[in-house]
Amino acid sequence: MWKQMNLQDSNSLVMDNLINFHDHAMMVILMIIVLIFYFLIFMMTNLFCNRFMYEGQLIEIIWTLVPMVFLLFLAVPSLKILYMTDELNNPYLTIKVLGHQWYWSYEYSDFKELNFDSFMVSDYKLSNFRLLDVDNRMIVPMNLNMRVIVSSLDVIHSFTVLSLGVKVDAIPGRLNQLSMNVNRPGLFYGQCSEICGVNHSFMPIVLESNSIKNFLDWINSM
């Protein structure tokens, strides 16, 4: 819903793990803050200072090992998510995304000569969401492993769809790739997340997820 301050609803397995890691990291950070404030208040209100508290080998070992344990609690799940976003698991479909100043081009490499440009809808009467709707949506099938290849033809852009946990830079002369699997039908909105020029805020992304049958019907109609 609009005006909510939390993360967007998840629509992919990667985003599910990102939200869980966010909540996990917030709990670890909260534990650290409570522990630090407890020691600060204890030291400030203690009238009897123990010099061994400041110079002892034991306390130095403790305040070295405890942060290492906290970092392990953060590093292990983050590495899992890193490999999830990096590995390609038998993709059945490849889509090439090219960034321009200031619009996106989509090319379905598995189907002959299927490519189109996607511009922001400038007529607000025809759009559902101002500055977020486009004339040609990126159509994808749901529950299917896809490979998205991202590049740019001019400056650095960033292909970002938050509810899918997708964010990758589009760099001229370089191909970046990511794995994507949408687990439900619907419309998912994103934007370029790299400051790419004067119209940076006017190159949105609209991804439409359909069943495989509807996706193949759309391919035939194109």
Do residues 122 and 198 both lie within one domain? yes
Do residues 31 and 75 both lie within one domain? yes
Do residues 115 and 205 both lie within one domain? yes
Q: Which two tokens stand for residue 23?
A: 């909540």
CA angle 42, 43, 49 (to 5 degrees): 125
Question: pLDDT of 108-146, one tens digit each?
Answer: 988 877 889 999 988 776 667 888 889 899 999 999 999
> Residue 61 above 60 pLDDT?
yes
> Residue 105 above 90 pLDDT?
yes
Do residues 99 and 115 both lie within one domain? yes
pTM for the predicted model, two decimal places: 0.80
Question: pLDDT of 175-186, one tens digit each?
Answer: 999 888 999 999
* CATH number of the domain enclosing 120: 2.60.40.420
Q: What is the mean pLDDT of residues 74-90?
A: 84
- What is the domain count for the chain? 2
Domain hosting 184: range is: 93-221
**pLDDT at position 49, please?**
64
Number of H helices, E strands in the chain: 4, 10
Question: For residue 1, is it within any domain?
Answer: no
Do residues 30 and 135 both lie within one domain? no
Do residues 101 and 184 both lie within one domain? yes
Q: Which residue has the higher pLDDT, 42 or 75?
A: 75
The radius of gyration computed from the CA coordinates of the chain, to the nearest angstrom, equals: 24
Peptide bond into 102 cis (omega under 30): yes
* Domain end residue (candidates: 33, 51, 86): 86
**pLDDT at position 51, please?**
57
Give whichever of 42-51, 59-68, 72-81 has the largest mean pLDDT.
72-81
Candidates 134, 102, 128, 96; CA nearest to 114 is 96
Q: Is 119 exposed, middle or buried (0-12, 13-18, 19+ CB in 10 A)?
A: middle
pLDDT band at residue 188 under the 50/70/90 scheme: very high
